[in-house]
Amino acid sequence: MASLIRNVFLSLGRTNVCGLGIKETTNRVTYATALFANSTSGNKGLPDRGGRGSVGRRPRREPGEPRTEKMPLDQDWTSVYPSATSFKSNAVPLPVRMGYPVKRGVPPEKKGNLELVKIPNFLHLTPAAIKKHCEALKPFCTEWPSALDTDAKCDEHFPIKVESTDYVCAGPSVRNPSARIVHLKVKLSRFNLNDHARKKMLKLVGERYCKDSDILSITTDSCPLRQQNYEYAKYLLTVLYHESWKIEAWEAEKTAADMEEYSWEDSLSQKNMLDTLLRMKVAGEGEDADVRKQLLERKEVQDYKDSVVRLKNEGASESSMLQYKEAVRKVLNV
């Protein structure tokens, strides 16, 4: 009871002393303390509706000093920033300043600086942290096989190369439809194909073969999943190989227009050359067929044949035209 009266007196005293300006607040204070006193004495619980009345109810906790003050110099930084987090000015002991300075001023300090929060930081990737990561990953790694130390050896043992891309993006979904595309590359020289099989393979494959590098590249994207596309590519390769070895009945109807390369034997050029030579009466008279064979074995005719074949197969270039010119001169003795 005495304590109660004392409390009330204290509150009243406060109102007397303080000026008029803050009468309201002090009134509130007295109201609050009076209530508090009341509630301690009896159970007349007028519930104190929080908010304004809570000024005296629970003292506001003072914010402590920032963590940077308590950091020792030889601390373990990897435990301060173990993973990627935004910049926390209370946890980074560096006196960083960022921003455009006000006129005749300095860039704003790190406390409350949103620019430092916006940018990505690498405080979690110090060399010590990376070392720890490597140590943690080592048990899961195996050595590269020592027998495969050159590229050539890798190509020899693993001729088929399969390529596919994985896509990462910042969004809730992991799926990307472009991830299903599979590229399969292999050198045709690794296959044992005879002449016919090779030509048939090239005809079947068309544009997928690069002549300069001798690489056949098959790209599959018709299936929705990458595994399906990979198996389809392997299937295509198998089918191409087996089909190119088969000889169908209709392949006998291959005409000169279907041929990939120009061959001089039994061609118009050969016929014309022989006719011209016969008319020039270069060789002696004899059997027609024998004379033709003799002419064919002549060196100039062989040179002419080489130049014509080269022209037709490789196209017209400076050197091939010169070669043709020389060959023609020699044959016609000009």
Partner 1 sequence: MAASLSSSGSARLMTALARSSMLHNSFESRSLHVTAVCCKNRAARIRIGKGDRPLTYEQAHHPHQIAHRKGWLSQHTSNLKGVEGAAERTVEDVFIRRFMFGTFHGCLANEVVIKRRGNMLVVCALMLQKLPPQKFYFLIGYSESLLSHFYKCPVKLDIQTLQDKAVYKYL
Residues making contact with partner 1 (CB under 8 A): 58, 61, 63, 84-86, 88-90, 99-100, 102, 108, 111-115, 117-120, 168-174, 178
Q: Which is nearer to partner 1, 58 or 211 (CB)?
A: 58
- In the complex, minimum distance from the CB of residue 167 to partner 1, in angstroms, rounded to a whole number: 8
All residues at 6 or more sequence positions from 324 whose CB lies less than 8 Å from its CB, including other chains: 307, 308, 310, 311
Any idea what the Cα angle at residue 323 is, between residues 322 and 327, rounded to 5°? 120
Q: Are strands 182-187 and 209-210 parallel, antiparallel or unpaired?
A: unpaired
Query: Who contacts 172 (Cβ-Cβ below 8 Å, separation ≥6)?
Result: none
Closer to partner 1 by CB, 32 or 92: give it.
92
Phi, psi (rounded to 5 degrees) for 162: -115, 135
Give the largest Cα separation in the chain, rounded: 155
CB 137 to partner 1: min, Å: 19
Name the minimum Å distance from CB 61 to partner 1. 7
Q: Which of 92, 139, 134 is nearest to 113 (CA)?
A: 92
**Alpha-carbon span 105 to 259, nearest angstrom:** 82
The smaller minimum CB distance to partner 1, of residues 178 and 189, is found at 178
Shortest Å, Cβ 29 to partner 1: 20
Question: With respect to partner 1, which residue has the nearer C-beta, 63 or 206?
Answer: 63
From the CB of 268, what's the least distance to partner 1, in Å? 53
Between 92 and 331, CB nearer to partner 1: 92
* DSSP string computed for 117-161: HHS---TT--HHHHHHHHHHHGGG--PPPTT--SHHHHHHH---E
In one letter, which amino acid is 294?
Q
Provide the minimum distance between the beta carbon of 109 and partner 1 in the complex, in angstroms, as a whole number: 8
d(CA 48, CA 20): 25
